[in-house]
Amino acid sequence: MVEAGAPGVYFDEDGHPKRTGTWSSANAHIITAECYLLGGQWLMGWIAGPAALLIFALITWFTSILFSDCNKSPEPVTGKRNYTYMDVVKTTLGNIFFIFFIIFHNFS
């Protein structure tokens, strides 16, 4: 019998259920996002459309690197995993600045 929250086959080291995403599901999300972007690119023409697509690809690449660095921060090996964007913001900014961020984020 597996105890709920115990690390092992079904749970990760923080006690949460293990993620079940695969390469094929990640590729499906990427293709969907690209199709969404391509839908608007054809309006821009042959020069601005591919340029905008390249800019969006670079922004996506850069933000994915930033988020992967924040997955377990501040300690990448033994640190607590950040499961949501707000967890990353709270870990990075601290409690006081997190409150200011929430106020600014919700009212802007």
Cα–Cα distance measured from residue 14 to residue 1, given in angstroms and rounded to the nearest whole number: 19
Tell me: pLDDT of 8 over 60.
yes
Cα–Cα distance measured from residue 91 to residue 44, given in angstroms and rounded to the nearest whole number: 40
pLDDT single digits (tens) 12-38: 777 778 777 788 887 888 778 777 766
Cβ-proximal residues to 33 (8 Å cutoff; 6+ apart), any chain: 60
0.85 cut: is pTM over it? no
Cα–Cα distance measured from residue 84 to residue 81, given in angstroms and rounded to the nearest whole number: 9
